[in-house]
Structure 1
Amino acid sequence: MGKSRSATAICAYLMHTLHISASEALAHLRQTRPFCEPNDGFMKQLELYHQMGAPDTVEDHPIYQRWLYKREVEFSGACGQAPDADKIRFEDEHAGRVSKESPAEFELKCKKCRRQLATSPYLLPHTLPTNPNAPSTANTPISSLSPAPAAACTHYFLDPLSWMRAELEQGKLEGRLECPKCKANVGKYAWQGMRCSCRAWVVPGISLAKGRVDEMKLSGGSRGEGMGIRRPPGAVNAGGGQAKENL
């Protein structure tokens, strides 16, 4: 009836030609066709199109590729299956996720051998129901969720990373993650989803246990910058002056 699907196509055209947002395009359209109402799924795709910069084509855009991957994983999990090995997207193999504009703020290291397992750009925020007394289910809509309190979480949820390849490509629906260096158990995964200790449901659930890893801050977006060197009280620095004690 020209309310949702065709309205979405016109909004995309307006976004591409006028360089406006999805909500602005819909407002323009409603000036002459007030009952236009793209469904929630279409609106999310229009917002994604806006994030891409409303290009001529989207097939090769990293944001679109990531969206396709998430849909594939959600569909596989709903069917009780792991995604095909050739469809798993290992985020650290795709350029552009970590940049000067979004540098890593901290890294996660294996508590046993100190091998780096992840950096902050690959971690996923998760949410829980607004009403803490309400039951939380895998089908709870994102729109009804609010940010989860970090202090209540005992897991770091993250994207698939290349060091997990040997385990994730086995086709198992769930399993555990081992440090690639010392083989210590550092986390677990469940393609169908996993519930955090804060009661939030995360799909897919790929997590590192906070008790098995150490979080190391990275000053200036790279290891070691701005950390300083601890000197004993009264020590003399290279310039002949007394060094300040790092507290």
Structure 2
Amino acid sequence: MFKIKCKKCRNLLFNEDDSKRLLLNAHNLPVTTVPDICETVNDENTLYLNEEHLPSWITLRIEAEKWSKGRINCLHCDSRIGAFDFISGQKCSCRSNILPPVHIIKSKVDLIRLNLLT
């Protein structure tokens, strides 16, 4: 599980529940799975989001832009934290996969991994 906070205002943006697998790598696999397929999978700058499990506030932003292109801003301080692009369909560096259309910029957020003991 992960918590994502805005780096500027430190407010919680969303949690990742293990059952939803919100955070993905460039090959649409959960971030905990890191195959040695291409350099893009190990991208140090970007977190991709599973469009099937987006937080409602991100979905509203995407719908406001009619599922085209746009920026994702923090709910609290309006700082840019990511973007979405359902038009371009960019490919990863290995050219075998199209990158997920919604992404978060790692340098704009705090990614906190929760280690829950059960």
Offset from partner CA, 1:146-168 (integer Å, 9 cap, x none): 36542x34110003221213311
Q: 1:188 matched to which residue of 2? A: 83
Q: Which residue of 2 aligns with 1:177?
A: 72
Find the counterpart in structure 2 of residue 78 from structure 1. none
**1:197, distance to aligned residue in structure 2 (A):** 7.8
What is the number of residues matched between the two proteins?
99
TM-score (norm 1): 0.35
The structure carrying a bigger strand percent of its residues is: 2
Quote the RMSD (CA, aligned, Å). Answer: 3.0
User: Aligned pair in 2 of structure 1 residues 206, 149: CA closer, same or farther (>3 Å)?
Assistant: closer
Q: Distance in 2 between matches of 1:181 and 1:198?
A: 37
How far did 1:115 drift?
A: 2.1
- Cα deviation, residue 108, structure 1: 1.5
Structure 1 residue 126: Cα displacement? 2.4
The higher relative CO (CA closer than 8 Å, separation ≥ 6) is in 2
Structure 1 residue 118: Cα displacement: 3.3
Matched, 1:107 2:7: no
Matching residue of 2:31: none
Q: Which runs of 5+ in 2 are unaligned?
A: 28-35
State, as a whole percentage, how many aligned pairs show the same letter.
29
SS in 1 for 2:76: coil
Pick closer, same or farther for the CA change 1:184–1:195 going to 2, 3 Å.
farther
Q: In the alignment, residue 78 of structure 2 is paired with which amino acid?
A: K
CA distance in 1, matches of 2:92, 2:78: 23
Gaps of 5+ in 1: 1-103, 128-144, 222-247
- AA of the residue aligned to 1:212: K
| TM-superposed deviation, 1:189 | 0.1
1:166 to 45, 54, 60: 60
Deviation at 1:124, TM superposition (A): 1.8
Cα 1:182/1:163, change in 2 over 3 Å: same
Point out the structure with the larger helix share. 1
Q: Distance in 2 between matches of 1:122 and 1:210?
A: 15
CA separation in 1, counterparts of 2:76 and 2:113?
A: 22
Deviations 1:103-146 (CA, angstroms, capped at 9, x unpaired): x2x2221101122223343112323xxxxxxxxxxxxxxxxx93
**1:85-105 Cα shifts (integer Å, max 9, x gaps):** xxxxxxxxxxxxxxxxxxx2x
1:211 match = 107
Return the letter of the residue paired with 1:179.
Answer: C
For the residue of structure 2 that corresponds to 1:107, the secondary structure is strand
Structure number with bigger Rg: 1
Query: Map of 1:4-153 to 2, 5 A cutoff?
Result: 104=1, 106-120=2-16, 121-127=21-27, 146=37, 148-150=40-42, 152-153=43-44
The match for 2:30 is none
Name the CA distance, whole Å, in 2 between partners of 1:175 and 1:153.
22
Query: Kindly tell me: are residues 156 and 167 of structure 1, through their superposed partners in 2, closer, same or farther at Cα, counting changes over 3 Å?
Result: same
